[in-house]
Amino acid sequence: MKTFSLKILTLISSLTLLVLPCASQAQIPGLGDISNAIKKVQKTKESTERISKGASGLSLEEEIAIGDAVALMIVQRYGGVWRDEAATYRVNLIGGILARYATRQDLEWRFGLLDSDAINAFSAPGGRIFITRGLYELPLNDDELAGVLAHEIIHIDDRHAINIIARGELLGGVSDLVADNNASYAQFESVVGGTADVILVKGYGSGSEYEADEGGRTLAMVTGYAPGGLRTVLMTIDGSNGENSEVFSTHPSTEDRLDRLPNDPPPVQSESGLSQN
């Protein structure tokens, strides 16, 4: 009798052990509570993994891959690269000097001009920065150009785009594609499209823009450029009465940005000897 009871007990225990791992896959009658508990644990684990990914951000490899693809989209949408050698030399020389003092020394910074009349500037993750011909030809002296480029450097230095991507849930497949494994092109392109949408249409948000204004002003100043460079550019644009159809379209209003920047005097005309056009 005792042996029989022991056998029954062993059988019930074995059945329970067999059933438990299945509980997360399907509702077992009478085991609803356990099933829900396991689901909860799984959900918590997934959330923890998401938070962990968001907190650590993308790998540098992923950031550069996404940023380079976004750069291609920017170039496509804004008339291609303006292949003016003197102007490209100037933006890369001044931009490169500013980038020497950026916090992120892990990036290879690149600066380019877009062949567009719009007045705008963009930064792609990974260190690629673009300004439009329309903005370049306002014209900008060296202090003003440094003010604009420093603002864009701070967007990358402070990982504004990367933080937005990392907060999202579109990252699946990016690592595989970057590693050239069984790539999910659709997922990669979804992340690239979402990032480009933030950079070209929605913007980073006013908080990040004000941060880039102030941080850019400091970066320009530390590098030796006049702190009022960006302010002067914004005042020039503010005084143009919206003659250009696209003026810093993804940024907060020029008035708001001017209100928040210190009232630095306009820089004196640069004498660097670099051709502005």
- Site residues for other proteins per CB under 8 A: 60-61, 64-65, 68-69, 71-73, 75-76, 80-81, 83, 85, 88-89, 92-93, 96-97, 100-101, 103-112, 126, 128, 142, 154, 157-158, 177-178, 180, 185, 188-189, 192, 207, 210-212, 214-215, 218-219, 222-225, 272
Rounded Cα distance, 147 and 134, in Å:
16
Rounded Cα distance, 71 and 80, in Å:
11
> Which residues, including other chains, have CB under 8 Å from residue 51's CB and lie 6 or more apart?
none
Cβ 111 to other proteins shortest distance, Å: 7
Cβ 207 to other proteins shortest distance, Å: 7
Cβ atoms of 156 and 103 closer than 8 Å = no
Cβ 60 to other proteins shortest distance, Å: 5
Cβ atoms of 72 and 189 closer than 8 Å = no
Which of 142, 237 has the CB closer to other proteins?
142
Cβ atoms of 137 and 277 closer than 8 Å = yes
Cβ 181 to other proteins shortest distance, Å: 11
Which of 23, 95 has the CB closer to other proteins?
95
Which of 32, 224 has the CB closer to other proteins?
224
Which of 164, 247 has the CB closer to other proteins?
164
Kindly state the helix (H) or strand (E) to which residue 133 belongs, with its residue range: helix 133-136
Which of 10, 105 has the CB closer to other proteins?
105
Q: Read off the tokens for 209.
A: 């823009």
Strand blocks (E) in 102-200: 110-114, 121-124, 128-132
Cβ 95 to other proteins shortest distance, Å: 9
